[in-house]
Amino acid sequence: MSSARSKVLTVIVVLASIALAIPHTSSFIILLMTRALAFSILVMSLDLLLGFTGLASLGQAAYLGIGAYLTAILAARYQIGMGYDFWIVVALGMIGGALLAAVFGLLALRATGVYFLMITLALGQCVWGLAYRWNSLTGGDNGINLQHRPKFGIDLANEVTFFYFVFALFGVSLAIMYTLVRSPFGRSLVGIRESELRMKVLGYNTWLHKYLAFIIAGAFGGLSGVLWAETAGIVSPENVVLTTSVDALLMAVLGGAGTLVGGVIGAGVVLLIREYLSTLVHWWQYVLGGVYVLVILYLPGGLMSIPQRLRQSRSLRKQSVNTDKLVSATH
Amino acid sequence: MTGNLVRRASPMLAGAGFVLAALLTQAAAQEDLRIGIIAPMTGPFAQVGTDKTNGFKMYLDQTNSTFAGAKVTPIIEDSQGKPDTAVTKARKLILEDHVQLLVGGVLAPEGYALAPVSTAEKTVYIASVPAADDLTQRQLGSYPYFIRSSWTSSQPNHPLGQWACDQGYKKIAVVAADYAFGYESVGGFQKAFEDCGGKIIQKMWPPLGAKDFGPYIPQIKPDADAVYSLMVGPMPLQFPKQLRDSGYTKAIIGGGTSYDESVLPFMGDEVIGDVSSLQYSAGLDTPQNAAFVKSFRAKYGKVPSYFSESNYTTAMMIDMVMKDSGGKFPGPEVFIAKMQALKVDAPRGPVSFDDMRNPIQDIYIKKVEKTTMFGYDKPELWNVVIKTYPAVSQFWTYGKDKFLQQPVYSRDFPPCKYCE
């Protein structure tokens, strides 16, 4: 069994066991895990840029915002998305995210490195500004309430059903993105991350590759937004503030950039600390800060690199035992 | 080998972790009255959140956490100032902790976010701070389990507009925080002021949380007789200071949060003489308020703000309903009806409710003065009450039907007819 296949298998087993275990926990845990899964689609979409293409974007919340506001506006104003037409909303959310990314990409991809970061940040803030100021459409800082979750054959108002629904969409997103990064297209993205110049010399249109990755990430960001809007039932400018983008970035790094599935671990850990631990203790912020600092200091590869780290340290130990033997043998 | 073991065991470990978490959360038992309090305890509004929960806690301490024989358990949850976190925490309080009452939220968006939860979960929600007008106006119909113990944003600003007009101010420039609470406060002030013959000649909207008003102050029209300011959070600490430093000598008036006691103790003497309006002032000279201020200050080392008073009074209201129900929670429908029928003698003065479940209460026009009050020996800044408008409703003198016909106050309503 190749190591890649065993890794995939492990991920599937872990995810499946979580899916089976969650409904037997409390309703609050179910709600939190649903939120973590919905948000982790955004984190994975960012990982596509950060971990595979080498583009650190600080404006990913914009796509979540598009999806979320689209869902809320369609539901609250036009009653669209309350039944089977929810799938239209899902599609529109993804298209909206992709279109926005197509526009933003034209501007942002002219730059690299920290300048790319600054431009995406500025563009993300534009979306926030619109959400905050376009009162007649977005309700300003009061936001928009979604009265009910959609019902189509299954009733998403049921927390367990909704959890499985989000879980399914999360699984599909993960599978698509995983296939994508393993495809020749994905390989060339990694090539761009490692050395864009070399890829250019080899004859790749690197700009187009990055542009496509940016649009795909935008589409999944939109999907994440549609689901995120339904988890809390309220969409407000708070969803598109800079900290949401920063959260996504930190979660991606925390889980392990360039691993995709690390996104769900990052999102899970952060949301559990922020929304679960904060119900137990009031010093949860120190824990969150501590986790960030410790992971970045001691696990630069994120939480997903723990198994690899363990393996490394074991083989190191074996090596040192071997050298000890060697040393004693020569004496 | 160990690697395989770890890999095989990890799903089980994860499962065990979740089961453990579930057991922990279900361990709490039912009690007589469980009250979920949602407040921002971290982030920029943490001070306000603390003021608020302290007010509630003080009433519980005074009554030994027993309302008419019922043991009261408050559970405080941090909303982090985010509407969607407030919703998540509210669900937790209702589903896990089985609270019968939700109290709280601070920001208007939190109020808008929590009201639908109360409807969906059939749980009473008492908004003890969020002042968004429409919750008890055009949208009340959607929220049968919602009641407000505080105020609407425009409620104290209608009388202030009238008062400013009575002072002979003809033209006023407005500088207000750029969000719904700002629009609604300014809207109320403008409506009453212009109905009486005044003119709002300028409106400027610095962003929420602005700390430098340098770009706005030079633009203030020199022919304005006074400036109306509506500041929140850390903003009021800067605005009057910068405005006076620029050499401005005319009157500054403002909405309640521009000078309320959550910021007043941290202000300098430059605010002396500034006027604002609210349903509460720590400087309200009544025996009941004197007792409230003294015990609050002795306990928390700080003069109570309206956030504290509002939540103290909310606890008192819950206590009164429980007494009326013989110490047993009467169910959400009856609770709302009984609370709406209360006549409360609060530190802020007499409070009753209108048929839209918003308080009818005295509105105080307050002037900042440096003086000694309640026997404290050091002269300090106090919001001294200079005029009382008794029993003001959220509809001012317009009448409910006529008032509800107009749209909710916004950035563009009332339109700025006299702005150039």
Short-list A294, A268, A158, CA closest to B17: A268
Residue A125 has pLDDT above 50, yes or no: yes
Structure tokens that stand for A180 in this block: 């994508």
DSSP H helices in B96-142 = 108-121
B179 touches chain A (CB under 8 A): yes
Chain A residues closer than 8 Å to B142 by CB: 147
Residue B399, SS3 per DSSP: coil
Pairwise pLDDT comparison (A219 vs A304), residue with the higher score? A219
| Tokens linked to A274 | 């922020």
Separation CA B149–CA B258 (nearest Å): 21
Tell me the β-bridge partners of B125. B102, B146
CB B338 within 8 A of CB B344: no
One-letter amino acid identity for A243? T
**ipTM > 0.90 (yes/no):** no
DSSP B129-183: S---GGGGTTTGGG-TTEEESS--TTTTHHHHHHHHHHTT--EEEEEE-SSHHHH
DSSP B408: P
Q: Are B302 and B58 in contact (CB under 8 A)?
A: no
DSSP state of B345: E
CB atoms within 10 A of CB A277: 16
Give the mean pLDDT of A273-300. Answer: 88
* Residues B383, B116: Cα–Cα separation, whole Å: 36
Query: Domain B157-284+362-405: what homologous superfamily?
Result: Response regulator (3.40.50.2300)
d(CA A159, CA A220): 23
Residue B105 and residue B54: Cα distance in Å, rounded? 14
Is residue A320 within 8 Å of residue B19, measured between CB atoms? no
Q: Which residue has the tokens 């004693």?
A: A328
Cβ-defined contact of B26 to A25 (cutoff 8 Å): no
- What does the domain layout of chain A look like in residue ranges? 28-268
Alpha-carbon distances, residue B87 vs A130, A145, A268 (angstroms)? 24, 11, 18
- pTM (2 decimals)? 0.85
- The length of chain B in residues reads 420
| Length of chain A counted residue by residue | 331
Please report which confidence band the pLDDT of residue A2 belongs to, taking 50, 70 and 90 as the band edges: low
Residues of chain A in contact with residue B92, where contact means CB-CB under 8 angstroms, are 28, 31, 279
Looking at per-residue confidence, does B241 or A140 come out higher?
B241
**Is B4 an 8 Å CB contact of chain A?**
no
Residue B243 and residue B227: Cα distance in Å, rounded?
Answer: 10
Q: How far apart are CA A120 and CA A245, in angstroms?
A: 10
B177 phi/psi in degrees, rounded to 5 = -60, 140
Chain B residues touching residue A278 (CB < 8 angstroms): 42, 77-78, 80
Angstrom CA distances, B231 to B174, B183, B237, B309, B381, stand at 11, 11, 9, 20, 18
Using DSSP bridges, classify how beta strands B33-39 and B101-104 pair: parallel, antiparallel or unpaired.
parallel
Residue A130: which of A226, A241, A223 has the closest Cα? A241
Q: According to the model, what pLDDT value does residue B1 have?
A: 40
**According to the model, what pLDDT value does residue A326 have?**
62
Nearest to B82 among A20, A233, A238 (CB): A238
What distance in Å separates the CA atoms of residue B159 and residue A98, rounded to the nearest whole number? 51
Three-class SS state of B42: coil
A278:B83 CB<8 A: no
% of chain A surpassing 90 pLDDT? 49
How far A285 CA lies from chain B's nearest CA (Å)? 9
- pLDDT values of chain B reduced to their tens digit, one per residue, 420 residues: 444 544 555 545 555 555 544 444 444 444 589 999 999 888 878 888 888 999 999 999 999 999 998 999 999 999 888 888 999 999 999 988 999 999 988 888 888 899 999 998 999 999 999 999 999 999 899 899 999 999 999 999 999 999 999 999 999 999 999 888 999 999 999 999 999 999 999 999 998 888 899 999 999 999 999 999 999 888 999 999 999 999 999 999 999 999 999 889 999 999 999 999 999 999 999 999 999 999 999 999 989 999 999 999 999 999 999 999 988 999 999 999 999 999 999 999 999 999 999 999 999 999 999 999 998 989 999 999 999 999 999 999 999 999 999 999 988 889 999 987
Asked if A25 and B18 come within 8 Å (Cβ–Cβ), the reply is yes
Return the SS3 of B18. helix
> Could you state, in order of their start, the residue ranges of all structural domains in chain B?
1-28, 157-284+362-405
Amino acid at A186: G
Residue that is written with structure tokens 């107009």 in the block: B406
Say what the pLDDT of residue B27 is.
41
**Quick one: pLDDT at residue A140?**
82
Pairing of β A144-145 and β A234-235? antiparallel
Chain B residues in contact with A16 (beta carbon < 8 A):
11
pLDDT surpassing 80 at residue A247: yes
- DSSP 8-state assignment for residue B388: E
Helices (H), B257-331: 287-300, 306-324
| DSSP assignment letter at B28 | P
Q: Which chain A residues touch B if contact means CB-CB below 8 Å?
A: 6, 10, 13-14, 16-18, 20-22, 24-29, 31-32, 35, 132, 135, 140-143, 145, 147, 231-234, 236, 238-239, 274-276, 278-279, 282, 285, 307, 310-311, 314
pLDDT greater at residue B126 or residue A324: B126
Two structure tokens written together for A106: 């034209």
The C-alpha atoms of residue A270 and residue A33 are separated, in whole angstroms, by 11
Predicted confidence at residue A329, as pLDDT, reads: 58
For strands B275-278 and B251-255, give the pairing.
parallel
Helix H or strand E encompassing A71: helix A61-78
Residues contacting A179, CB < 8 A, separation 6+: none
Q: Specify whether the backbone of B331 is left (phi greater than 0), alpha (psi in -120 to 50) or beta.
A: left
Of residues A2 and A309, more confidence is placed in: A309
